[in-house]
A and B are shown apart, each in its own frame.
Chain A
Amino acid sequence: MKIQVVYFAWVRERIGVPKETVETEALTVADLVAELVAREERYAAAFVDMSVVRVALDQALVALDTPLGETREIAFFPPMTGG
């Protein structure tokens, strides 16, 4: 399936693009991360420590083991610093 992937803050800087469309057969968020990390070094650099990366599926925060299901957009970003 095709999925829109968006990145923010230092995750975006390490990967080098704010968004991209990815073709994947990954079943979960963690599967997709593993797939990207295996593809290119810049993904490995961004996802080296997943404890400091947050994930949202269609704009809702989820855990790493969440199934991608019918997700249209997945976002990766550091812990938020609002306020």
Chain B
Amino acid sequence: MSVRVQETDFNVGEELAKLTSDRVDIGALVSFTGLVRDVTGDLEALELEHYPAMTQSALEKIEAEAIARWDLDASLIIHRYGRLEPGQQIMMVATASKHRKAAFESADFLMDFLKSRAPFWKKEHGLEGAEWVDAKEADEDALKRW
């Protein structure tokens, strides 16, 4: 069970291996990795601002809620901040459980809450200037299904 907020990159394979090392009771490991995408070809960088005094505790609260709802054997949230380029990794979540349903559902839950309840803001720097990414109504609506 851990949360890391960092500027540096991470290695998904190594992180997943660490989660399950020395464990024989885990039957399901689910992970999600978010990447900086550039669909139109004019994104130079994505700048991630956050609220340092709040970020760690907000993420821990979301993780604790997942642990309370599902029978998890391990979980991990890593979220980066700073300037990221297209193709680079922004964040990852991983959840491990005896069975796949708990692992899939809890990972989905973590992602929905990270979207709208983790104090990060994204600014897109493109060829035409810079613009803040607006929150989507659908992201807020997604919380209601939990």
Residues of A that sit less than 8 Å from B by CB: 6, 8-10, 56, 59, 61, 73, 75, 77-83
Contacts and interface: CB of A to CB of B under 8 A. Distances in A.
Given A8-B119, A9-B121, A77-B119, A82 B79 contact: yes
B116 A79 contact: yes
Nearest to B54: A59
A80 B53 contact: no
B interface: dominant SS: mixed
A10 B124 CA distance: 12
Given A6-B51, A9-B132, A82 B115 contact: yes
14 contacts: A8-B119, A9-B121, A9-B132, A56-B54, A78-B121, A78-B134, A78-B135, A79-B134, A80-B117, A81-B134, A81-B135, A82-B91, A82-B117, A83-B120
Counting from the closest, the 10 A-B pairs by CB-CB distance are A82-B118, A79-B135, A9-B121, A82-B120, A59-B54, A83-B114, A83-B115, A82-B114, A81-B122, A10-B132
B54 A81 contact: no
A78 B121 CA distance: 8
B121 A81 contact: yes
Interface residues of B, number: 27
Contact of B132 (A61, A73, A78, A83): A78
A77 B51 contact: yes
A48 B146 CA distance: 32
A56 B118 CA distance: 12
Contacts of B39: none
A25 B114 CA distance: 35
Interface in B96-128: 111, 114-123
B34 interface: yes
A77 B34 contact: no
B57 interface: yes
Given A6-B51, A73-B53, A80 B132 contact: no
A83 B135 CA distance: 11
Contacts of B7: none
Contacts of A77: 51, 119, 121
